[in-house]
Copies of this chain bind each other. A is one copy, B any other.
Amino acid sequence: MSDPGLACCTPLSGTAMSADQAEQVAPLLKALADPVRLRLVSLIASSATGEACVCDLGGAFDLTQATISHHLKVLHSAGLLDRDKRGVWVYYAVRPEALTAVASLFSTSALAPA
C-alpha cells in the first residue's frame, strides 16, 4: 500500500518465481494438499495398470462415496487425474505431465536453495 521503500539488506536476486507462475502452480499443490487426495493419487499411481476404478478406491477410506467422488473431482479438475468411464465403472489415471510440473518445482532453482 505505502511506497516500496528501500531494501534494508540484500536486494533479493531476481531469479525467483514470478507471481503468474505461482498462481499457476498453487492450485496443483492445493489439490494435493489433503491426506485423502494424496493417498488417492498414490493408490492410482501405484496400481499395476496405472489406473483404478472408484469402487476400489473407496474401500481404502472410512469416507462416504460422495466424499470420495468429490475428492476425485477436485483432482480431475486440477488436471491431475484423467477420467475414463467404461460401462458401469469409472477409471481414474494420473496425468504424468501434471505431476512432472509439480516435481520440477523442487528440482529447479526456483525453490532449491543449494
Residues of A within 8 A of B (CB): 1, 4-5, 7-13, 15-17, 19, 22-23, 25-26, 29-30, 32-36, 38-39, 41-43, 45-50, 52-53, 55-57, 59-60, 62, 64, 89, 91, 93-94, 96, 99, 102-103, 106-107, 109-114
A4 to B57, CA, bound (A): 11
Q: List 5 A-B contacts (CB under 8 A).
A: A7-B55, A9-B89, A30-B33, A42-B110, A50-B113
Do B56 and A109 touch across chains, with their CB atoms under 8 A apart?
Answer: no
Q: How many copies does the complex hold?
A: 2
Having A5-B59, A9-B55, A17-B38, one finds 9 other A-B pairs with CB under 8 Å, namely A8-B55, A9-B89, A10-B47, A10-B52, A12-B56, A17-B46, A26-B35, A29-B29, A45-B111
Q: How far is the CB of A22 from chain B (nearest CB, A)?
A: 4
